[in-house]
Structure 1
Amino acid sequence: MTQTIAPRVRTLVLLFLAVTGALLAGAAPVSAHAALTGSDPGQGAVVDRAPAQVSLTFSEQIAVSDDAVRVLDPQGKRVDKGDPANPSGTTYTVRLLGGLPDGTYTVAYQVVSADSHPVAGAFTFSIGTPSETSVSVSAQASDDGLVGWLYGLGRYTSYAGFVVMAGGAAFVLACWGRGAGVRPVQRLVVSGWLALTGATLALLLLRGSYTRSGKIGDVFDLSLLGEVLQTKPGAALVSRLLLLAAAALFIAVLFGAYENRENEEKRDLTFGLAIGGTVVAAGLAASWAMSEHASQGLQPGIAMPIDVVHLLAAAAWLGGLTALLVALYRAPADTPVDRDAVQRFSRLAFGSVVTLVVTGVYQSWRQLGSWSAFTDTRYGQLLLVKIGLVVVLVAVASVSRRWTSRLAQAAAPADTRHEQAQETVPAEAVSAQKSDAGQDVTDAGGRAETAGKAGAGATGAGEAVGADSARAVQLARQRAAMETARQKRLRDADPDRFGLRRSVLAEAGIAVVLLAVTTVLTQTEPGRTEQEAKVASSSSSASASTGQGTGAVTLHMPFDTGGENGKGVATIDLDPARVGDNDLHVYVEGPDGRPVDIPEVKVAFTLSAKDIGPLSVVPDHVTTGHWSASGVQIPMAGDWEVEVTVRTSDIDQVTVSKNAKIG
């Protein structure tokens, strides 16, 4: 069987690479987590007059609360009024108090994206002249503390419970029908149901604090719980609880009436349970697909069914693997997991892996969209870890397949010997039983005669026979227990079965880590959105300038001083870029697009055609990564050379330049 599987595995690998390349090559923009793509005023902008409102534009629809957007003055006091409004599309506005003085203001936002994840951030803008501010520019999300950690643990537990419950039940129905009567397997599936139910209830209670305050004391706030129930994630959690009631009925039938039916009735019941169990499991999987990444972005109508299939395949593989591990280690000696059950699960696992590869390729393309996102984003890096774990898991599974093949080959001669023994034992057993029965009758008669001669009554003889019967039953139980223990020792001593147990245990250990990485992935911003947010942030910073007047000049100048942390981009904004007075803004960002401070920035203007310049300007430092100067004089129109000198240390300095038409 191993030789047959090898070509199929090579074909799947080639197919995987081809499909991945084709999908990634044709990627189109998409978002899943919400990202701030624009604002008015823009990030770092300096406006002449106080705006009447602040507007924020996100990459997708978001859920906002009363305190979702806050605007703070330089002293940290709130200057916004009213609740955030959604005038159109993905743009949200908040009104400001009138008569705001000059200075630097901070806009902090904390919203919930359509795929259920909290998103937080902050930026600054200035009215008139920038000033110092006591407000921190960064904003901590509500999922960064203890509540966020507990919510992540609840997610992991819910995934693990679903995998164990659905996969364990599938293993019993599709691979090992006798397992319905094995207590350890029953406890495993019931434990999965309990874990999923408990985790779902915990997530429902934690949800309000997770998306709002992040405080552990708000977990039992009934008003927050009421708000959660009106959201899509809250409705998904409630639906999951209702489906878990149906799952409880399914488990009761599987481990109750199913085991007690005759073979003909059991076959009919198996079909019914398979249909009903698939419907319930698909509904549970849909409670994730309809409220998380798959429900937003590109092709949600295709992505959600594919996500359901992906979850079902993962449950069939990893949950069935867990059930097989329990059966190999904990099944009674009189009900061992047979080689046919192991081979059936091997085929089921192979089909599940193929399904996971196909659906996983689509999901990877949808969430990343480019090869660079694999290494440049946290989501891509985690996905690489997940792919590596899957490869290792498949490699260990191939070892398990070889042990299964050896177990099947070794079992055939053993079955022959067992049948021969069955043919010889009955005659000897019958003879022994007859001899024992005759001896019992003789002994009973002798004891009765002796008792009569001794003058004992019929009651005494009856008590003696009863005592002998009790001892015989006790001896029979002891012999049965010793025989069961002997069979278990012989079974565990089988090197093929021992090797299979070890390889399956290794698979289960890797599966635990794989499930943890998958849980973290569901809470991580997809690579597409992360890259789009960086581009939007960079564009917003670059376009911020005084007045935003028509004719303003913006120049992006990459630099490298050659020292440590010497790379970055200097952006020059000259507004209104005309003859006479102009306002100059300089923004310095690191390679990651974040504002950075450096020891010195100087700007010079040269008009070579008229031998004018260089006209040096030393801007004043305003805030992190931002310098400005007002009253910059441009004496005449022309093609000016703009030079920027940046110094990143005491000895590392470089001058970069670009030409710009001014006036």
Structure 2
Amino acid sequence: MKRLLGLVLLLGLIAPAQAAAHAQLEETVPQRGAVLRQQPEQVVFRFSEPVEGNFGAVRVFDASGRRVDEGDAFHPGDRGNEIAVHLRDGLADGTYTATYRVVSADAHVISSGVVFSIGEASAAGKTVAELLGGQDTGPVTDAVFGVARGLQFAAIAIAVGALAFLLLVWRGVLAAGVAPAAAATAFVRRHRRLVAGAALLGAFSAAAGVVLQGAEAAGVTGFDALRPSIVKETLGTRFGTVWGIGVVAWLALAALAAFALRPRAGVDREPAAPSPVALLAFAPLAAFLLLLPALSGHASVQSPVWLLLPANALHVAAMSVWVGGLATLLLALPAATRALPERGDRSRLLAATLLRFSPLALCAVIAIVLSGTVQGVVEVRTVAHLFDTAFGRAVLVKLVLLLALIGLGAVQRRRVLPRLRVVAAAGAAPGGAGLLLRRTLRGELLLIAGVLAATAFLTAYAPSTAERSGPFDRTTELGPIQLQLTVDPAAVGSNELHVYLLNPRDGSQFDGAREVTIAATEEDEGIGPLDAPADKAGPGHYVANVALGVPGTWTVRVSARVSDFDEYTTRVEVPVR
């Protein structure tokens, strides 16, 4: 219980304050705050990388909150990094708000919006954040999606690793003659159930992942995302295609395991492991599953792909060899030892198996460390990012858990394995050595569950080098006036600030301010105040631009002078990444 509580506390460190995204908005047509003489035919958002969105991805609203877009979102000129929507004909003069909710190439959902006007600017109505507020899946769906990712990675590790154990470890154990017929048969039967069970878990979690990704993209609950139209559109996205193929691959692997992993008699009528040729049938399925996290995540889209993609695949493969081997030792090997009547035979079987698995596990650990270091350097870059970004904190937690795992592995190599050798040579029962082995294996699997959970968080977050937040939205009081402040994207660099002044009685725009001034300060770094000239974009609506040079908590001061003698001031703290 204490270990589990500690694990929960560690994983709590990686919960982000706000959602992250990877693709970045580079340009809009019309531009932010533009006042156009004529109505445009369409609204276009241009991003730093390809995006996908068919689920009402781009919407345009008038000042009353009614939608004025027409038709589905589309990619102008088949350019994947642009997404647009047509506007209805005959729009009246006034101010409009265009919002987007799209899926970036690494499966992250990003959203924000811009305000523009036709003819003469008017009251903007609801803010971007308010218009996007109804497009949220909620914490339950987000949490279940995280669980589905974790189960998918666990299934990959157990199934592929168990197959590797059969090929690289168990065949050698049989050749050593320490696993007679009863033990070999019991092992193969339990091993087959382990692989088939992992495959069914993988199929279920992959199917759930497709549905939940559709929920994220469409901004609906998981149950609402079961609609055939949403599932179909999700399968057309990068993530949906990869995980949809994953469902088929898992079902094929389960069927193949039921057929190819059956106990069979060798030439001497003793049960034998499946031949290398039979195991080769698993190779294409296993290879795809090892690539699944990379193909549906950051590694296949973040530069340099030539380095990150193979590093990620090696990382998953090495982790699978380690995790799947441990699962086999804990869940399948005991069936073999219990089938042996002599206790000395049990010790010899345990020792022979560990002697073959131990160097394999050591090689896997080295590969995990090397590949993980490559990915960490590229995706985190700085030590500071390990602490001030959700992605970095997930990497840090995963690193701590892996170090603990390596420590338990060292206990096995230095304490358990030598003691098993001694009792095996003496023909004695495993005794204390066997008990210590079970305890270390259980501890390792518990820590591995934490590693897989941290990995699920990593795939949900954008890398530290790409993480962004926003738009930030806050409603507060400005004297007798209600103030709504939007900062977009609330990230280091150029930010657009929207100030809305409202009458608190009826929520109408307050247009009695003679002058509005805005300034930003980062007190911890001693920066500012940076003045941001505010331009009036409509009744009670002011727009300003300011460059926020460092991450941290910025204080935005908004002042409104309403007469020669009255001026109201308030301060809003804005988290900037």
Question: Shorter-chain TM-score category?
Answer: 0.7 to 0.9
Identity %: 26
| 2:395 matched residue in structure 1 | 383
Equivalence map 1:252-651=2 (5 Å): 252-257=258-263, 259-262=264-267, 269-327=274-332, 331-335=336-340, 336=346, 337-415=349-427, 490-491=429-430, 494-530=431-467, 538-541=493-496, 559=521, 570-573=530-533, 586=544, 598=557, 600=559, 648=571
The verdict on how the C-alpha distance between 1:619 and 1:271 changes in structure 2, with shifts beyond 3 A counting, is farther
Q: Deviations over 1:435-487 (max 9, x none)?
A: xxxxxxxxxxxxxxxxxxxxxxxxxxxxxxxxxxxxxxxxxxxxxxxxxxxxx
Alpha carbons 2:43, 2:87 under 8 Å: kept = yes
Amino acid at match of 1:405: L
Specify which structure has the higher proportion of helix. Answer: 1
Amino acid at match of 1:164: I
The verdict on how the C-alpha distance between 1:194 and 1:618 changes in structure 2, with shifts beyond 3 A counting, is farther
Separation of aligned partners in 2, 1:211 and 1:566: 40
Shift in Å, 1:261 = 1.9
**TM-score (normalised: structure 1):** 0.64
Matched, 1:151 2:157: no
Deviates more, 1:353-362 or 1:47-56: 47-56
- The secondary structure found in structure 2 opposite 1:108 is strand
The verdict on how the C-alpha distance between 1:230 and 1:648 changes in structure 2, with shifts beyond 3 A counting, is closer
Q: Deviations over 1:562-595 (max 9, x none)?
A: 9xx99776343488xxxxxxx9965679875899
Deviates more, 1:65-74 or 1:274-283: 274-283
- Structure 1 runs of 4+ off > 6 angstroms? 263-268, 565-568, 588-591, 593-596, 616-621
Unaligned runs of 5+ in 2: 1-19, 172-178, 341-345, 471-488, 500-516, 536-540, 573-577
Alpha carbons 1:158, 1:195 under 8 Å: kept = yes
Shift in Å, 1:558 = 5.7
Structure with larger Rg:
1
Alpha carbons 1:110, 1:121 under 8 Å: kept = yes
Shift in Å, 1:308 = 2.2
Shift in Å, 1:367 = 2.3
Alpha carbons 2:200, 2:251 under 8 Å: kept = no
Counterpart of 2:228 (choices 197, 218, 222) is 222
Separation of aligned partners in 1, 2:99 and 2:200: 40
Shift in Å, 1:251 = 2.1
**TM-score (normalised: structure 2):** 0.72
- The secondary structure found in structure 2 opposite 1:515 is helix
The verdict on how the C-alpha distance between 1:532 and 1:38 changes in structure 2, with shifts beyond 3 A counting, is farther
Amino acid at match of 1:318: V
Unaligned runs of 5+ in 1: 1-30, 419-489, 545-554, 576-582, 603-615, 622-645, 650-663
The verdict on how the C-alpha distance between 1:543 and 1:49 changes in structure 2, with shifts beyond 3 A counting, is farther
The verdict on how the C-alpha distance between 1:560 and 1:587 changes in structure 2, with shifts beyond 3 A counting, is same
Equivalence map 1:14-413=2 (5 Å): 33-43=22-32, 45=33, 47=35, 49=37, 52=40, 53-65=42-54, 67-87=56-76, 89=79, 90-97=81-88, 98-103=90-95, 105-125=96-116, 128-129=120-121, 131=123, 133-135=125-127, 137-138=129-130, 139-140=132-133, 142-177=136-171, 178=179, 181-182=186-187, 183-257=189-263, 259-262=264-267, 269-327=274-332, 331-335=336-340, 336=346, 337-413=349-425
Shift in Å, 1:162 = 1.7
Separation of aligned partners in 2, 1:51 and 1:618: 41
When the two chains are superposed, the root-mean-square deviation of aligned CA atoms in Å is 4.1
Q: Deviations over 1:130-161 (max 9, x none)?
A: 63623452525555444333333222222111
Deviates more, 1:593-602 or 1:214-223: 593-602
Separation of aligned partners in 1, 2:144 and 2:273: 43
- The secondary structure found in structure 1 opposite 2:532 is strand
Separation of aligned partners in 1, 2:366 and 2:531: 49
Matched residue count: 487
The verdict on how the C-alpha distance between 1:592 and 1:106 changes in structure 2, with shifts beyond 3 A counting, is farther
- The secondary structure found in structure 2 opposite 1:60 is coil
